[in-house]
Amino acid sequence: MAERYSSFAPGGTAWLLQRITAAFLVVTLAFHFFQLHFVSHAAEVTFAGTQERMSTIGYFLTMVLFLIAGTFHGVNGVYNALVNQGLEGAQKKVMLAVLAIAGLALIVQGIWVATAMAGWI
């Protein structure tokens, strides 16, 4: 039988955050689908409606946390998948830096768009 290998150290911070963000994403994704596919049907989703939803502080914070959790979960998952495939040394450090910068840029851009959609800038 093949030995199981994972770059996640069980009980480590990255391991724990990966699981916490997964659980948070399941809940917020369900909320997102319910809100935008059952409360408002796809044909009824408009720019003005999005602005109205984003101007509500609770919705705004939920979507920003959704963005941050999704970005962390995705970037951390890609990084650990690469490590599991044998990435090491300088390549590992470079990939960590590239993914961290890309993740941070995505979060900054997403918050900027959310703030603009809320009408706060």
Structural domain boundaries in the chain: 13-118
3-state secondary structure of 24: helix
pLDDT of residue 3: 62
pLDDT of residue 6: 65
- In the predicted model, residues of the chain with pLDDT beneath 70 are 1-10
32 contacts: CB under 8 Å, gap ≥ 6: 66
pLDDT of residue 79: 95
3-state secondary structure of 37: helix
- Domain made up of 13-118: CATH architecture: Up-down Bundle (1.20)
CB distance 28 to 69 below 8 Å: yes
19 contacts: CB under 8 Å, gap ≥ 6: none
111 contacts: CB under 8 Å, gap ≥ 6: 64, 67
What pTM was estimated for this model as a whole?
0.86
pLDDT of residue 8: 65
pLDDT of residue 64: 97
pLDDT of residue 43: 80
Alpha carbon distance 84, 87 (integer Å):
7
